[in-house]
Amino acid sequence: MASALAGQHALVSGGGRGIGRAIASALHLAGARVSIIGRNGTMLQQVLDAGEADRAASVDVTDEAAMARTLAELSAEQPFDIVVANAGAVETAPFRKSDAALFRRMVEINLVGTVNSFRPALPAMLERGSGRLIAIASTAGHRGYPYVSAYVAAKHAVIGLVRSLALETARSGITVNAVCPGYTDTDMVAGSIAAITGKTGATAQDALAQLVKDNPQGRLITPEEVAASVLNLCRPESRGITGQSLLINGGEF
């Protein structure tokens, strides 16, 4: 794998923690030059200090102009061969309390953030005739969950984007795919557990059991498992895989 990614330049959004950091580290270990972006400069610096990425920049993925400038700066010496749009967020609320503003926030961070990660990198990929665009979506892009209708809608949209863009680029040498983990052992899920315990009085153990009840393996997915799937999609041998959304969820349907 190291020889497969040697000399390639990868961008990972939301690369300062959780799944994004695991992906950045895996790509770096596989020989890629890795640039990471995110809103928390302190966390990004920690990844650099740990030797898990090469460059970092603080930027809000929902800001189209700022993203265009930042990605241009990071790719000035070498265009991106791989872009992993990982940045995302979730807010919980019953639908009757989910106003249009909540839906807009979920669409902005999860869908528009993906668009703003892909679009600046695409022209150079088209010119070279190669590239990997990978969105970190969610099991929520394939099925519904109660109390997160806005998040589910946004993740369904991400998968729709992937399928459409894959058809546009099918003969270009570029592949476009989504990786869709179930509940993963990250700070985001820890926040969901805290929210459940705060609202219901349940114990953390009971809250965790509630989150993994639909996973036949009865556990959280690890960030490293998601990173391994991203690595596989980056391999030259995976050039025939495009427009797909790979579920990593222990068999949940």
The catalytic residues are 151
* Ramachandran angles phi, psi of 172, nearest 5°: -100, -10
Let me know if 49 is exposed, middle or buried by CB neighbors in 10 A (0-12, 13-18, 19+): exposed
Let me know if 29 is exposed, middle or buried by CB neighbors in 10 A (0-12, 13-18, 19+): middle
Q: Calculate the alpha carbon distances from 116 to 76, 98, 108, 245 in Å.
A: 17, 25, 10, 20
What gap in Å lies between CA 164 and CA 154, rounded to an integer?
15
| C-alpha gyration radius of the chain | 18
What gap in Å lies between CA 196 and CA 211, rounded to an integer?
10
What gap in Å lies between CA 251 and CA 214, rounded to an integer?
9
What gap in Å lies between CA 117 and CA 5, rounded to an integer?
20
Q: Calculate the alpha carbon distances from 141 to 45, 145, 158, 201, 247 in Å.
A: 31, 10, 7, 29, 10
What kind and span of H or E run contains 102?
helix 100-106
Tallying the residues shown for the chain, one arrives at 253
